[in-house]
Amino acid sequence: MKATDALRTLFAFLTLGAFAHGEPLAVGAPAPEVSAQDQDGKMVAFKDVYAKGPTLVYFYPKADTPGCTKQACSLRDDWSVLQGKGIQVLGVSEDQAAAQKKFAEKYQLPFTLIADHDGKVAQAFGAEMMGAVTKRQSFLIKDGKIAWTMLKASTDTHAKDVLKAFEGLAAK
């Protein structure tokens, strides 16, 4: 295969991947019961995490990039408050496990990062794509259902946004 043919094939694959994810899951939809590898190479069954309490599943484009670092550090900096509310956190990007581990260690991230290198988790959530990477968006799961979504998650105030949404759910 010529190099140009290989590049065309790769481009076609990436372009198809950009549109493969459907509509993001709506509030009230059942939370996807997918499994994927974490930063340590261990399989994480999302259903098991949901069973421990409210769970934030947040998607970000790429580990150790400026915006994704701000977003993750926002959650890290308010970790004790999130934990106090019983909120589990799963950060998801299409990076490999080794890149996720390096990211978690570099910024001392206390929560689990998911290596969604095949895009199955993003697809299960209907996460929107930006080219070949998942857009920044969040899903709060409570009692096995999507309880809140933020389809344009912020980088600086992500934790505060999640906590505000969680407080609103508790008031209902």
Beta-carbon count within 10 A of 34 CB: 19
* Catalytic member of 34, 44, 56, 68: 68
Q: How far is CA 76 from the centre of its chain?
A: 15
User: Which candidate, 168, 162, 165, places its Cα nearest to that of 72?
Assistant: 162
Our answer to whether residue 68 is catalytic in this structure is yes
102 contacts 69 by C-beta, under 8 angstroms: no
- For residue 164, give the 3-state DSSP assignment: helix
Q: In sequence order, what are the beta bridge partners of 88? A: 55
Q: Is 109 left (phi over 0), alpha (psi -120 to 50) or beta?
A: beta
With tokens 């991230």, the residue in question is 109
- Active-site positions read 68
